[in-house]
Amino acid sequence: MNRSLSPQSPETHADAAWLARVHLAAANRLAVYDELEEGIDNHFTMMVPGYEDRYLVLPFGRHWSEARASDLIVFDERGQVLEGQGDLELSAFCIHAPLHRITGAKVILHTHQTWALALNMLEDNRLLPCSQTAAFITKHIAYDDGYTGLASALSEGERLATQLGDKQVLFMKNHGVLAVGDTVAQAYRRLYRLEKVCRAQVLAMSAGKPLSLLPDALVDKVDTPNPEDSHSREERERLYFEAMMRVLDRVMPGYAD
């Protein structure tokens, strides 16, 4: 039985479901624009609004630059496609469905993006608080240091959910990263900023000089929301994603079809 999260009118449910599709399709295309994707591989998923056991994903075989809202399929933890046409890739539901179920994350974005993967190829793959942007992230990362190979069973997603816990980002050594969020805008901004700080750290490390770490107290100060700020973090996430969708409208239109 499908488990409804909250009572909604058919109109409200339909509007929320379509907006979710538009945002997830946009995120797939943005990953191409930002060079975070691997063509047809990796996965972005989102709970279907109104449900906690149905998930949206791009059908396997579609290039991420082709993502359209109407093309996304709906699947469940059994690996069955409930809505739409196209194939569901095995690791998509083996990793993502248990992560959604166990952590309650509305959105899960998993990639093998270059600079985050480069850091995860190192013996010591910890992201260090060496910049203002890194200070927003470092204390919200969990680390999975035990790569087990290609995901082919739900147990792998359950293992990763245990590793992630209540964090926002999971570093998957020798594999990649994933970011979670309550909205596509929130999760995507986390993924994008993560790539930026990983790139900065790898470049700084290549200089062969000691890195300058921010003290814990200063990291806490930066990471704590300021009630006097002109815009809340939620507003910043929304404004960022809306701005990037306008960029897509110019350079890669069609995601909202």
The per-residue pLDDT for range 184-242, each reduced to its tens digit, is 999 999 999 999 999 999 999 999 999 999 999 999 998 887 777 778 888 999 999 99
Burial class (CB in 10 A: 0-12, 13-18, 19+), 222: middle
DSSP state of 255: T
Q: Which positions ≥6 away from 65 have C-beta within 8 Å?
A: 28, 29, 32, 252
User: What pLDDT, on the 0 to 100 scale, is given for residue 152?
Assistant: 81
Strand 141-144, strand 169-172: pairing: parallel
Is the Cβ–Cβ distance between 204 and 128 less than 8 Å? no
Q: Choose the CATH number for 10-250 among 3.40.225.10, 3.40.190.10, 3.30.470.20, 1.10.3720.10.
A: 3.40.225.10
User: Residue 123 pLDDT > 70, yes or no?
Assistant: yes
User: What pLDDT, on the 0 to 100 scale, is given for residue 225?
Assistant: 79
DSSP state of 121: T
pTM: 0.92
User: What pLDDT, on the 0 to 100 scale, is given for residue 3?
Assistant: 39
116 or 224, greater pLDDT: 116
Domain boundaries, the chain: 10-250
Mean pLDDT score, 70-86: 95
DSSP state of 71: G
Mean pLDDT score, 71-88: 95
